[in-house]
Amino acid sequence: MPAVAHIIRRRHNRKRRARREARRSALWLTIVFVLPLSLALTPPLALVGLSVWLYAQAVSHMPTPQETVFLARDQGLTRFFDRSGQHVIHQLDDPLGTQRRWLRLADLPPYVADAALLAEDAKFEDMQAGYSLPQTALQVWRYIIGLPLETEGGLAAELTRETMLPLTRASGLDERLLEIALVAEVRRTLSPEAMLEWRLNSSDYGHDAFGLDAAAQVYFGKSAEGLSLAEATVLAMTAAQPDINPLDDARRSRERGADLLFSMRDAGLIDKREFDDASAAEIALRAPPDVSAEIAPDFARYAKRQAAAILDRLGLDGARLLAQGGLRVTTTLDMDLQRSAVCLFQGHLNRLRGESAAGLRAGGKPCAAGVQSALSGKALESPPDSGALALIDASGGEVLSLVGEAATPRYQPAVVLRPFVYMDAFLRREFTPASILYDIPRVYPGRAADLIYAPASSDGRYRGPLLLRDAMAAGLLPPVAQAASVTGMPGALRMAQALGFTSLDASRDDLELLERGGAVSVLDAAHAYTVLAASGVMRGIESAASVAGQRPLDPVAVLRIEDAAGRALWAFEGLPPGLRQTAIIEPSLAFLVNDILADADARRATLQQPDLELQLGRPAAVLDGLSQDKRDNWTVGYTPDLVLAARSGRNDEVGMSLDDYQRLGAAPVWNALMRAAHEQLGLPPRGWTAPADIEEYLVCELSGRLPLTTDHCPTRRELAPAGSELRPDNRWQTVEINRATGQLSTVHTPAELRERVAYFTPPEDVLDWWVDNGKLLPPSSYSDDQDKAAGKDALLTSPSDYAYAGASVDVVGAINRAGAQSWLLEYGADVNPDRWFHIAEGRSVDAGGAVAATWDTILLSGIHTLRLTVDFADGSRLTDSKLLTFDNTPPAVRLGAGGVAESGEIALGESVSLVAEVNDNLAIERVEFYRGDELLLVDRDWPYGLEVGADRAGEARFRALVFDQVGNRAESRLALDFVAG
């Protein structure tokens, strides 16, 4: 018995011959009779005739509803090829094969039609409207004279556009004219039941299932006649939104079916018993097809979606056109690299499980014996059970290899997000690579008001102050959390979205995303970092879902689409450059990130760890790390030519047990495949060139600020954008110490023990950690180098060492040895003066004699050294010295009352706080508080103040008298009114 498709084709051929004969007769009739008559009639009548003729021409190409289902599939299967065009990586099979048939409404359970009508009620509204000759004539008339035409809605128009128009494009007629005529004819010739029947036989149900019969087979493994009520509602809702189908999203698909059941019950289409039975029914899904034999199943799915989107932009129904068959799609997949990637990842996972890597196959072929030799690793107690990777050509945005579930956003980004925090900070000019960050335990506000977030170091070690370059190169969590706490996470997330992470919520201000939570795909990660690899330029194909603030271009998976006759429908290389690339960030911003992530020296020096798995023997930027729950291990790295994102992990609740450096999961595969890809593609080593607006600065270690002098601090060279306002250093302090004691040196310290040392002084909130971890601070005490025994032959007895002094100082010394010929008193600034200034001198001092002088110090301030020098007749010389601190600047004081009204009035019985705000250039000795002449309090400890009561009515006069250590004084007065309440 002839197949249904064969019978349909024979009928179609007979109809086509009959139409040709009718057109030939009509042509002669037009020439002999109609044309002369038309010339005699008015122009409007001629236009009417033209309208009728155009309409008839369009209708003559109209296929039947059955032909739209069967004839479209008579061109073979749609096949996807690798980039060489030699290897088929995927083909779209008809779920029904040769068993496809036309479903009749009469053969289906009544609830199937009811569910379909209710699920897409808006589309079925025009089924009863029928054909309107005036409306059709008006549409044709507007088309002829070039007026704008509205796109028609409703089921008839949708069926025409989706199924009929693709079969009539070869007619040569304008598509808009065809649509007007065919929609009108569908309404004129088809009953509502016929349109519904056509809809059920042609709807897209997802997973290449077009038509209800195909959908029933794909999802439930049965024919459409055998669908239960529950299954019918699920499929009706799937037809309305094919992306939400039982295989891709079983939960939401079932929920939508349940909602439709409620609507059917409320509409009286089913009774309560039917509703209850369907609601309680278990829906058994057919297992999805086994794609394990395919070399790149996830890539094929991604390429198919992209091909459908491309065809949609051409005005075609992409998914339907692909499923109908006959297309040849050339993809970007590099078959050799794909086989290597699959073999590498499978072998690596086997090795970590303690299994043999021998006998592995990729795409039905055995893996090369030498592939596994590039890997290192050992069996782990809790190894990763899955892996995914994406390899992209940075110069064109083309996907060369995709392994595992790489295109689905299901992995925690963790370390992959951290560079975007720094990028956002650079963009805001709040940080540079020379900025100081702290790798110390800190606490931040959590996701909720009553929660906190305490980022911890992954290796349990904390390194204290670091330059941003070192912290970023090492991928440390506490420093990046500190930066994010300043700039906020939304800015970093918006940056990540713009570069490619479409699944992130940019409004989520949550620092915990830096180590857990969120979901991204491996492909998105690789695509985002191609922008950095390409110095700020994104390359790819127009995004399938263009959303403001998100990436404008997607990774390229499709190079060319051809129809069954070999005609090119679309070619990536034919697109203008403006549609294939766009600048996303400034080259200088991209360069800073690349330069830091490629700084292996900074990474090794900071972590004090080997990083052989991250070294390619060529410049490469790389980041790696583990999520907090140890379920996602990332290695993302790139050169100017290639970007590879690799992720290994576990899909259960058990975290991975990796090596001490957390690199055994993904890094070995990343390293081996990057080496192989560069070698196979013949790519020479090259790095990134610094843009003209990047400058080099000499900065202090740890603080990242500009050194005040050449010996002020340990220095290094660092890059920053031109015009960066790097500030002078305020964290390093250089002092001279006694090397033997570690204390500050004095004039008595021997020269061979003196050493100038630079000390880092951390800010107040870091000081406790600094001290607790044994870090050095500048010494605060002086070395006691001089012998103060009574037997010293020449010494200063007054003033005392380290005394405070001001105005004039009485200097007293003693010479305890005979033969003194002369003595000299001098002073110099600081602990070790460079210059000495004369005070007094004398000659011929008897043994036991005294040295005395008055020293005018009114102009001096700060630390000075007083020195006595005595020369003896035997040529010997003795010296003694004292350190004094001079303060000739009086303190400043302001007396105030806290909580007092502006009028200064205080009710009797109340109390008031008197507060003395005091400032001095050195040190305060005491503050005296008076009421009138009555001394109320002598306060020697800050804050300075006391409580006084309003004990009697009238004006009360208070004053504060402040004294510094030298005796300089200042006074402030305050008058208050004590009034009766």
Closest CA to 722 of 423, 432, 420: 432
Give dist(CA 276, CA 256) in Å, integer.
16
- Please compute the mean of the pLDDT values over residues 112-124 and round it to a whole number: 83
Q: Average pLDDT in the 136-156 region?
A: 78
Q: Which of 246-250, 373-377, 477-481 has the lowest mean pLDDT?
A: 373-377
What confidence tier does 370 reach under pLDDT thresholds 50, 70, 90? low
| Band of pLDDT at residue 981, cut at 50, 70 and 90 | low
Dist. CA 145–CA 138, nearest whole Å? 11
How close are the terminal C-alpha atoms of the chain, in Å? 115
Q: Identify residue 545 by its one-letter amino acid code.
A: A
- Which tokens go with 766? 């870091």
Average pLDDT of span 184-188: 85
Percent of the chain past pLDDT 70, that is, above it, reads 90
From 3.90.110.10, 3.40.605.10, 3.30.590.10, 3.40.710.10, which CATH number describes the 365-680 domain? 3.40.710.10
**pLDDT for the residue numbered 392:** 98
What is the band of 653 on the pLDDT scale with cuts at 50, 70, 90?
confident
- Highest mean pLDDT, choosing among 386-395, 807-816, 916-925: 386-395
Read off the tokens for 751.
Answer: 């020269």
Pairing of strands 328-331, 78-81: parallel
CA atoms of 551 and 573, how far apart (whole Å): 21
818: nearest Cα among 867, 881, 879, 874: 874
DSSP state of 171: G
- CA 110, chain centre distance (Å): 52
SS3 636: strand
- Structural contact between residues 22 and 120, judged by C-beta atoms closer than 8 angstroms: no
Tell me which of 3.10.129.10, 3.30.1490.190, 2.60.40.2550, 3.30.420.40 is the CATH number of domain 794-886. 2.60.40.2550
pLDDT value at residue 154: 79
Lowest mean pLDDT among 713-717, 769-773, 887-891: 887-891
Checking if the pLDDT of 815 tops 70, the result is: yes
Q: How far apart, in Å, are the Cα atoms of 180 and each of 69, 124, 162, 202?
A: 21, 19, 14, 21
pLDDT over 80 at 293, yes or no: no
pLDDT at 490 over 50: yes
* pLDDT higher than 70, residue 894: yes
Give the model's confidence band at 494: pLDDT under 50 very low, under 70 low, under 90 confident, else very high: very high
The two domains 794-886 and 892-979 share their CATH topology (first three levels equal)? yes
- 160-169, 302-311, 576-585, 909-918 — which one is most confidently predicted on average? 302-311
Across 20-29, 289-298, 329-338, 363-372, which has the greatest mean pLDDT?
329-338
Does the pLDDT of residue 769 top 50, yes or no?
A: yes
Question: For position 4, what pLDDT does the model report?
Answer: 42
Q: What is the pLDDT of residue 306?
A: 96
**pLDDT of 933 higher than 80:** yes
What mean pLDDT do residues 648-664 have? 81
pLDDT for position 7: 42
Q: Is 18 exposed, middle or buried (0-12, 13-18, 19+ CB in 10 A)?
A: exposed
Q: What ranges in 120-243 are assigned the alpha helix state H?
A: 133-145, 155-159, 165-168, 175-189, 192-202, 212-220, 229-240
What's the rounded Cα separation, in Å, for the pair 32 and 702? 99
In this predicted structure, what is the pLDDT of residue 27? 47
What band does 124 get if pLDDT is binned at 50, 70 and 90? low
Cross-strand pairs, 402: 390
pLDDT digits (tens, 9 = 90+) for 709-766: 888 899 999 999 998 889 999 999 999 888 777 888 877 777 778 888 999 999 989 9
- HSE of 728 in the Cβ direction (CA atoms, 13 Å)? 5
Strand order in the sheet with 911-919: 892-898, 911-919, 944-949
DSSP H or E segment with residue 91: strand 88-92
Of 100 and 371, the structure prediction assigns the larger pLDDT to 100
**Neighbouring C-alpha atoms within 13 Å toward the C-beta of 213:** 20
Q: How many residues does the chain have?
A: 981
Q: How confident is the model over 151-164, as a mean pLDDT?
A: 82
| Entry pTM | 0.76
Contact indicator for 968, 896 with CB cutoff of 8 Å: no
Q: What is the pLDDT of residues 826-836, one digit of tens each?
A: 999 988 888 99
For residue 860, the SS3 value is: coil
Q: Which two tokens stand for residue 606?
A: 């900071």
Which is nearest to 401 in space by CA: 375, 370, 362? 362
Q: Domain residue spans in the chain?
A: 1-76+93-108+128-194, 203-284, 365-680, 692-730, 732-772, 794-886, 892-979
Q: 546-552 — which CB contacts under 8 Å span 24+ positions?
A: 547/502, 549/494, 549/497, 549/498, 549/506, 550/497, 550/498, 550/502, 551/497, 551/498, 551/499, 551/500, 551/502, 551/527, 551/584, 552/582
What is the pLDDT averaged over residues 134-154? Answer: 77
pLDDT class of 34 with cuts at 50, 70, 90: very low
Task: Determine which helix (DSSP H) or strand (DSSP E) holds 539, and give its type and residue range.
Answer: strand 537-539
pLDDT band at 6 (very low <50, low <70, confident <90, very high): very low
Determine the residue type at 351.
R
pLDDT digit string (tens) for 607-635?
998 888 999 999 999 999 999 989 999 99
Judged by average pLDDT, the poorest of 171-185, 199-213, 325-339, 362-376 is 362-376
pLDDT above 80: residue 19: no
Mean pLDDT of 172-191: 84
Cβ-proximal residues to 231 (8 Å cutoff; 6+ apart), any chain: 216, 219, 220, 283
As a whole number of angstroms, the distance between CA 695 and CA 595 comes to: 13
Give φ, ψ of 889 to 5 degrees: -110, 120
- The predicted model gives 486-490 an average pLDDT of 94
Q: Under CATH, to which class is 892-979 assigned?
A: mainly beta
Residue pointed to by tokens 């600065």: 697
380-407 core/surface letters (b: 16 or more CB in 10 A; e: else): beebbeebbbbbbbbbbbbbbbbbbbbb
Per-residue pLDDT at 789 exceeds 50: no
The CB-side HSE value for 967 (13 A sphere, CA atoms) comes to 7
Structure tokens at 97: 């094969």
Please write the tens of the pLDDT for every residue from 861-885. Answer: 888 899 999 988 888 888 888 888 8
As a whole number, mean pLDDT of residues 383-411 equals 95
100-114, 350-364, 439-453, 462-476: least confidently modelled range: 350-364
Torsion angles phi and psi, residue 831, rounded to 5: -75, -40
User: How many Å apart are CA 645 and CA 688, to the nearest integer?
Assistant: 20
Mean pLDDT of the chain: 86
Whether the Cβ atoms of residue 542 and residue 571 lie closer than 8 Å to each other: no
Helix (H) or strand (E) holding 962: strand 954-964
Ranking 125-129, 172-176, 483-487 by mean pLDDT, the lowest is: 125-129
Q: Cα–Cα–Cα angle for 855, 861, 866, nearest 5°?
A: 45
Task: Find out if CATH 3.30.70.2740 is the number for domain 203-284.
Answer: no
Contacts of 604 (CB under 8 A, 6+ apart): 610, 611
The more confident residue out of 195 and 674 is 674
- Please give the DSSP secondary-structure letter assigned to residue 281: -
Supply the pLDDT for residue 908: 85
Confidence category of residue 581, pLDDT binned at 50, 70, 90:
very high
Starting from the edge strand earliest in sequence, which strands make up the sheet with 88-92, in order?
88-92, 78-81, 328-331, 558-562, 568-571
Q: How far is CA 434 from the centre of its chain?
A: 22
Helical segments of 270-334, H only: 272-280, 297-313, 318-324
Q: Which of 322, 364, 328, 286 is nearest to 93 (CA)?
A: 322
